[in-house]
Amino acid sequence: MSKVNKDDLLDREYFRPRMHALFFKFEAELTQLLWDKMEVLTKSGVDPTEAELAVLKDGYFLDLVNLLVDKTAGTSEEQAAIKLRSYIHATEIQKIRLSAGHANRIYEDWMWYQIAALSCHQSLSSLGLANKMKQHLVAAENGVLELPPEEWLSSRENFIKNNLPEKVDFDHTKLVGREREKNNVLKKIRDRRIANIAIVAPGRYW
């Protein structure tokens, strides 16, 4: 086992990649656990819904955690899943995931220690993830844990949920995602008491 240099502990960039690697492993282990549970349910005649499959494929971190709580309901693992979710909400660990793909965001020391603590949380033992996550933690501490792929760092987890399409034909859809504004404009157009309407915005949007 390699020894961590004391000077490295003072270097914020020393732990940033380790934090990313450990968080990626936690997400991967959680996803695999859910796939295993889905397989068991499928064999018993309960097929996963399209929404559940979407979460497993590319869902948000908190969606995975919520799905774990749903799939352990009524089992001996339910309380462990609930405790894990409560811990994640209380410590706002999802904010670390949101910042992972933003190179310009300042890395704070607490981020590494929060992920390290998550990897040792008592609930993981009941969920069967304790040994795996402890191994990943040791590997991350020693800088030998594989870094996450680039697509994970730049995944949609880093963006705010919205109803906007990825590609938009602006010649035909001038007010995409602005239903309220569009309805207000149409209402004013139909109002005979209003003679003029001015819509102001940067020229490149209109």
pLDDT digits (tens, 9 = 90+) for 166-193: 565 555 555 555 677 778 888 888 888 8
Chain center to CA of 4:
30
Confirm whether 30 is domain-assigned: yes
Confirm whether 1 is domain-assigned: no
Q: Specify the 3-state DSSP secondary structure of 64.
A: helix
Which positions ≥6 away from 131 have C-beta within 8 Å?
none
Same-domain check for residues 86 and 168:
no
Same-domain check for residues 97 and 179:
no
Same-domain check for residues 73 and 129:
yes
pLDDT digit string, tens, across residues 132-173: 999 999 999 998 999 888 888 776 554 555 565 656 555 555
CB atoms under 10 Å from CB of 135, counted, come to: 13
Rounded CA gap, 157 and 66, in Å? 15
- The answer to whether 30 and 71 are in contact (CB under 8 A) is no
Same-domain check for residues 117 and 191:
no
HSE at residue 146, side-chain half, CA atoms within 13 A, is 7
Same-domain check for residues 54 and 154:
yes
Say which amino acid occupies 134. K
Same-domain check for residues 100 and 166:
no
Say which amino acid occupies 144. V
Confirm whether 88 is domain-assigned: yes
pLDDT of 206 above 50: no
HSE at residue 124, side-chain half, CA atoms within 13 A, is 19
Same-domain check for residues 167 and 147:
no
Tally of domains within the chain: 2
Same-domain check for residues 123 and 193:
no
Residue whose structure tokens are 């904010």: 95
pTM (global) more than 0.75? no
Based on its alpha-carbon atoms, the radius of gyration of the chain, rounded to whole angstroms, reads 23
Confirm whether 23 is domain-assigned: yes
For 199, the domain range is 162-206
pLDDT digit string, tens, across residues 53-100: 988 887 688 999 999 999 999 999 999 999 999 999 999 888 888 776
